Copies of this chain bind each other. A is one copy, B any other.
Amino acid sequence: MSERPPREIVSRRTRPAKPPLSREIIVSTALDILARDGLSGLSLRRVATALDTGAASLYVYLANLNELHALMLDSALAAVSMPEAQNGSWRDRLKSVLKAYLRVLFERQGLAQLALSQIASGPNSLRIWETLLGLLKDGGADDVKAAWGLDLLTLYVTAIAAEQSVRRASGEGLDRVRTALSSISSEEFPLVFAARQALLSDSDDSQAGWGRGDWALDVIIDGVVGGPNPSVTSSAPKKRGKGHKR
């Protein structure tokens, strides 16, 4: 009778039926971890732990860590909102998409780094590409120019976001520059010395790295839309007004 102690009765509720694993759950859990701990805090083991399983279990749904990264990126890009059909000029709409893109990369620590090493090519990326190509063509770019412009603009936005969020994460980076700049001799590097204010202001317009970024977008858009072959307006960003020679 007392051979074995009475069975311990444990409600199943204590450890509720785990939701079955799935790509989606894995990806969204990974994005949560990314948001909380940054890229360096993200690992398959941690994702697995958060899902109350072992790392090996994830390999049923993922080929490897790299694939998880790609899926995370595309999933996050779902949040890039497209402009309403006819809100403002093509240029305003183009910039608004690019800013939305930047904002998404910026909001999640480390997402931009993923974007740089991935070339997002999932469905959400395609949706963004389609929109950007359309807007560039609205601006007068031909097929080739639009394609190059798409690449240049997204690369730029991604690089901006990556540069700044890496610094946010590692901290040191910016300090290193600051000290390097503050200890410069005006004789050895006169121009750098003179420009050190402006050079530091780059990363200072905190929030979204904007202001300078807005200028840069205009610069690039102008170059893409106007450009080498003599066609279309080749005007400067805000208002140049004079030349629309053909």
Contact = CB atoms under 8 A, between A and B. Distances in A.
Contacts of A62: none
B228 A224 contact: no
Interface in A94-151: 113, 116-119, 121-122, 126-127, 129-130, 133-134, 137, 143-144, 146-148, 150-151
Given A148-B212, A160-B155, A195-B146, A121 B176 contact: yes
Given A129-B192, A228-B237, A234-B235, A198 B147 contact: yes
Nearest to A222: B223
Contacts of A172: 66
Given A199-B151, A234-B240, A170 B219 contact: no
A181 B224 CA distance: 23
Contacts of A190: 130
A167 interface: yes
Interface string A168-196: 00101110110011001000111110110
Contacts of A137: 191
A12 to B, nearest CB: 42
Contacts of A158: 159
Contacts of A51: none
Interface in A179-236: 180-181, 184, 188-192, 194-195, 198-199, 201-202, 212, 215-216, 218-220, 222-224, 226-228, 230, 234-236
